[in-house]
Amino acid sequence: MRTKSAPYLFLTPALVLFALFLAAPIGYAGYLSLRRVKVSGLGLGAGSRSEVWAGLSNYGRSLTDPEFVPSVLRVGAYGLIVVPCMLGLALVLALLLDAGRTRVGTFTRTAIFLPYAVPAVIASLLWGFLYLPRVSPIVDALSSVGITAPDALSSGWVLYAVANIAIWGGTGFNMIVLYTALRAIPTDLFEAARIDGASDIQIAWRIKIPVIGPSLVMTFLFSLIATLQVFAEPMTLRPLSNTISTTWTPLMKVYRDAFVRNDIYSAAATSVIIAVATFVISYGFLKFVGSRAFSQEN
Amino acid sequence: MKRTFAGVLAAALILTTAACSGDDSPQEDPDEKVALTYWSWAPNMDKVVEGWNASHPNIQVTVNKQDGGDPAVAKLLTAIKAGSGAPDVMQAEYQKIPTLVAADAVADIAKEAGDLKSKFPESAWNAVTLGGEALYGVPQDSGPMMFFYRSDVFDKAGVQAPKTWDEYAEAARKIHKANPKQYLGTFSSNDPGWFAGLSQQAGASWWGVQGESWTVAVNDANTKKVADYWGGLVQEGVIDNKPMYTPEWNAALNDGTQVGWLGAVWGPGVLEGNAASTKGKWKTALLPNWDAAAPANGNWGGSATSVTSQSKHKAQATEFVKWLNTDPAAIKALAGTANVYPAANDATSIALTAPPAFFSNQTDFYAIAAEAGKITKPFTYGPNVNVAYSAYNDAFGKAAEAKQAAGFGAALDTIQQATVGDLKNAGFSVAG
């Protein structure tokens, strides 16, 4: 008896926390997404509004909102900029640090990692100041040598401006993950290659990158999820320009619906859509790449 | 050990029951000690409230500082939905009151407050009663719009303070021509309240009540006139198209490239914070007018103090709210310590005798403000101002970025559609 109940006893804290802080909120969001407020007449005074079942109408409105599809496409374009740039940069920096074995290694590593420790809102404010022509030292410096910098927050550039903040903030973290994986590779692998006459680039390309494949997959997945959830950067930059709308990304639409329009029901429906999409994309990606990336581990 | 615990528990139970019966009894004990919480974002409000706490030992008010009007309302509505967590007293912007009433978040205190109508200007009173018999708050501060301009730049360009919008446009052209870096103003896609004030001056009232239905008129002829006017100036390039309240705008005020601002009576504080190096160079005037023979004005900002529907001490809370906004000492503190422009009619005579420090050379500052308040046109807010305002951000953001006059009128149609659509979708009855 005692031994039978023991595993459940050990599991209880985790299960309770999971139920309270994950399952219950998700369930509640799902419930809210099927509800709506029904107002009668002028809607003033107590009793003029009641909560009723809405069926799937919140989902319908969310998906047919003329701002929803553009925001999804925008995040897609944003991801196409951020993920390759950030991971490419992180990989190159990790390989350089691993190959260089210089004395400045520790300092450089910390310096590259540091932006990750800056909260996204602070980073966005910081970059916001650098983007605004009248307060930006960069624009100042460029104009003193006769170059007119483009307005980073104008409609043609704003996507890159937001992507830049994410790349600046995220490269360090991914670099550390990849660098740690590189350090874990047994050195005899490249010593053998070096004796055979392989160059550093060949070693990186043929040995190091394939071996850290699983880490690359993991960082890619994290970046993908972060992309789908991009919120803090455009939200912080929004009041600085005309070009970022309140529904610039899907999550911003959720925020606007919930806290600006006080319509938590539509917000819940859009959240559920985003959650399902994130799950499908992540799972699909893992399914696609998983067998290849992890096969060598078995 | 067990016994002591039981004793403590019993004592706690007795206390709880006592507290409950105190709440439930209709006859309030005058000596009952009551603690009230007050959400406000006005600076130094806690110091204003100290004056009340010192003289009312039985009704102690704690100020809970909020980030601003929007986040405070979002928090309050969440607390109302949750059923607990709302304060007793809440600072609420005039344009949020219909939303709060519709969500049953603020209490009707008409009975507790008694007759206060004569103490406040008509437009503010209208905003807290929604034109009916109920009273959803006591007006705290108001924001009649005013025009601020750099008199040194005007003198240099040979321009007079504009009395009409035609003269304003002419002044904008002259100033921008004399120095292409300088602008008389900017069209801000970030400040729907500002544009609503300008439309109010032109005679618009975006919402209205017709029988048992709401009317929405964001794209009526009066507002169209205002939008077309600004679209024309932005397209011409004599007015900037960047939003206000950005580091960019602050720098432009300070370095003298923004040489005018259509602000409101609380503007000196903003200018002092953002453009300290231009102190003494600014003057103020009434807003330019559409018809010089019939001067009018609009309102930008201003708020009331409301009692929330969750308060268990409505009578005491109302007493505090009344004191805060009508007692001469409180009005003095509101004006002097919290730096707001009190809504009460006698504020100008009680508290606002000297001009704000930033405009120390303009002795008639508050006389102009009082005049601006007097000619403010009526304007009715509806239950979904938030929807219209966020639609304003998006629609006018696009229009201002494109710098095409035609886009400004079209933006109004977009806002109108979004506002009416939202009302209908929620089930409000909408006329027209």
* B40: β partners: B65
**Tell me, what's the pLDDT at A31?**
96
Written as one letter, the residue type at B316 is Q
**Tell me, what's the pLDDT at A101?**
61
Query: What torsion do the CA atoms of B158, B160, B162, B164 make, to the nearest 10 degrees?
Result: -100
Written as one letter, the residue type at A259 is F
Q: List, for residues A37-64, the tens digit of each pLDDT value.
A: 888 888 887 677 888 999 999 999 999 9
**Tell me, what's the pLDDT at B58?**
93
Interface of B with A in 210-229 (CB under 8 A): 212-214
**B248: nearest CA partner in chain A:** A134
**Tell me, what's the pLDDT at B311?**
95
**Tell me, what's the pLDDT at B217?**
96
Q: How far apart are CA B280 and CA A279, in angstroms?
A: 60
**A245: nearest CA partner in chain B:** B394
By Cβ distance, the residue of A38, A129, A133 closest to B427 is: A38
Q: Does residue A243 belong to the interface with chain B, where contact is any CB pair within 8 Å?
A: yes
Inter-chain touch B248–A240, beta carbons under 8 Å: yes
Q: List, for residues B209-235, the tens digit of each pLDDT value.
A: 888 899 999 999 999 999 999 999 999
Q: Chain B residues with CB inside 8 Å of A241's CB?
A: 242-243, 246, 397
Of the CATH numbers 3.40.190.10, 3.30.70.860, 3.30.1160.10, 3.40.50.970, which one belongs to the domain with range B146-298+370-426? Answer: 3.40.190.10
**Tell me, what's the pLDDT at B269?**
87
**Tell me, what's the pLDDT at B6?**
45
**Tell me, what's the pLDDT at B131?**
79
Which helix (DSSP H) or strand (DSSP E) does residue B24 occupy? helix B2-24
Q: List, for residues A231-288, the tens digit of each pLDDT value.
A: 999 999 999 999 999 999 999 999 999 988 888 999 999 999 999 999 999 999 888 8
Q: Does residue A71 belong to the interface with chain B, where contact is any CB pair within 8 Å?
A: no
**Tell me, what's the pLDDT at B3?**
43
Most A-contacting residue of B401, B404, B415 (CB-CB within 10 A), to test interface: B401
Most A-contacting residue of B242, B384, B414, B429 (CB-CB within 10 A), to test interface: B242
**Tell me, what's the pLDDT at B179?**
94
Interface of B with A in 291-330 (CB under 8 A): 309
Q: How far apart are CA B413 and CA B409, in angstroms?
A: 7
Question: 3-class SS at B67?
Answer: coil
Inter-chain touch A242–B400, beta carbons under 8 Å: yes
**Tell me, what's the pLDDT at A295?**
53
What token pair was written down for B258?
A: 């923004």
CATH 3.40.190.10 for the B31-143+301-350 domain, yes or no: yes
Confidence of residue A5 (pLDDT cuts 50, 70, 90): confident
**Contacts for B322-331 with beta carbons within 8 Å, 24 or more apart?**
B322/B113, B322/B116, B322/B138, B323/B52, B324/B48, B324/B49, B324/B52, B324/B138, B324/B140, B325/B138, B325/B139, B325/B140, B326/B116, B326/B119, B326/B138, B329/B51, B330/B48, B330/B51, B330/B52
Phi, then psi, of B42 in degrees rounded to 5 = -70, 140
What is the value of ipTM here, to two decimals? 0.87
- Which one, of A125, A123, A127, A104, lies nearest residue A114 by Cα? A123
**A51: nearest CA partner in chain B:** B426
**Tell me, what's the pLDDT at B147?**
97
**Tell me, what's the pLDDT at A2?**
60
Domain boundaries, chain B: 31-143+301-350, 146-298+370-426
**Structural domains for chain A:** 56-295 (1.10.3720.10)
* Residue position matching structure tokens 């001067």: B295
Low-confidence residues in chain B, pLDDT < 70: 1-30
Mean pLDDT of A76-87: 97
Same fold for the pair B31-143+301-350 and B146-298+370-426? yes
Inter-chain touch B209–A133, beta carbons under 8 Å: no
b/e code B197-222 from CB counts within 10 Å (16+ = b): bbbbbbbbbbbebeeeebbbbbbbeb
Written as one letter, the residue type at A195 is I
By Cβ distance, the residue of B134, B248, B393 closest to A246 is: B393
**Tell me, what's the pLDDT at A46?**
67
Q: What is the pTM of this model?
A: 0.88
A296 pLDDT above the threshold of 80: no
Q: Chain A residues with CB inside 8 Å of B400's CB?
A: 242
Inter-chain touch B104–A154, beta carbons under 8 Å: no
